[in-house]
Amino acid sequence: MLGYVGIEAVLDQLKIKAMKMGFEFNIMVVGQSGLGKSTMVNTLFKSKIWNCTPLDLGQGPVPQTLQLHSVTHVIEEKGVKLKLTVTDTPGFGDQINNDKCLRPLDIEFLQRLCRTVNVVPVIARADSLTIEERENFRQRIQHNLKTHCIDVYPQKCFDEDINDRILNSKIRDRIPFAVVGADQEHLVNGRCVLGRKTKWGIIEVENMAHCEFPLLRDLLIRSHLQDLKDITHNVHYENYRVCRLNQSHM
């Protein structure tokens, strides 16, 4: 082939380098107290993709979170290393008197947050809602996000081609995912599952018939991990940097 150099070899180099260096990813969980944030952090770490390296996260009830707290674990699958750090936070709004004003507080908070980081909203404790209530709540939230110009992840303006648009539109329709958190394992039909024990049976966090935790996990650490990092780096961090530079010149 005339003029053929073989530049695709760069792909192998990138792969070797990525395998050697591994990937890093940081997630922060925010929201009102008692919603299940700390439990969700444990659920993420305990769920099946890293069952191969059993983690001792302790047993018993999760204590109330009083300060920022980060947990890091290195997860390895087929030679690919992911250093995942999840930061748990105390409930926002806990320190102020927010009687009757929590919804405006949520909106104000999200409006600012989505300009600084990628926001992935979830409906927590979805086991306390019927399927119908979940759908109504989801639609109400989608409507509120739109009305108040809260541009959550995956943002339409960053879809790069038709494939992104098709895949991300499906995600945008399902956001916020209705999730259930649990850090206890139970035996169901001979299988060990993460779930919540109720009068009616076990609610399994990894069962799509029970909740959408698998969609959240897949989005965060499988299908969109690199995209989340790219937008954080190229858009959010760049905006922050420009803003700080402008401030320092004033």
Under rule CB under 5 A, residue 39 binds Mg ion = no
Phi/psi class of residue 191: alpha, beta or left (left: φ > 0; alpha: ψ in -120 to 50)? beta
- Under 8 Å between Cβ of 113 and 31: no
Asked if 205 and 211 touch (Cβ cutoff 8 Å), the reply is yes
Whether the CB-CB separation of 152 and 143 falls below 8 Å is answered with no
Binding mask 206-245 for Mg ion (x = CB under 5 A): ----------------------------------------
In the complex, what is the shortest distance from the CB of residue 128 to ligand GDP, in angstroms, rounded to a whole number? 5
Q: How far apart are CA 245 and CA 249, in angstroms?
A: 6
Query: Which of 36, 121, 195, 214: binder of ligand GDP (CB under 6 A)?
Result: 36
62 binding ligand GDP? (CB under 6 A): yes
Centre a 10 Å sphere on the Cβ of residue 192 and count the other Cβ atoms it contains.
11
When the beta carbons of 125 and 224 are compared against ligand GDP, the nearer one is 125
How many residues sit close enough to Mg ion to count as binding (CB under 5 A)?
3
Q: List, in sequence order, every residue forming a beta bridge with 126; answer none if it has no partner.
A: none
Torsion of CA 228, 229, 230, 231, to 10 degrees: 50
Single out the residue of 27, 31, 36, 38 in contact with Mg ion (rule: CB under 5 A): 38
The pair of three-digit structure tokens given for residue 24, joined into one six-digit string: 């890093």
Within a 10 A sphere around the Cβ of 103, how many other Cβ atoms?
A: 10
Query: According to CB under 6 A, which one of 19, 21, 24, 34 is a site residue for ligand GDP?
Result: 34
Among 28, 71, 83, 91, binds ligand GDP (CB under 6 A): 91
127, 204, 206, 212: residue in contact with ligand GDP (rule CB under 6 A):
127
3-class secondary structure, 122: strand
Instruction: Out of 65, 144, 184, 232, point to the residue binding Mg ion (CB under 5 A).
Output: 65
* Chain residues that interact with ligand GDP, rule: CB under 6 A: 33-39, 62, 65, 91, 125, 127-128, 180-181, 196
* Chain residues that interact with Mg ion, rule: CB under 5 A: 37-38, 65
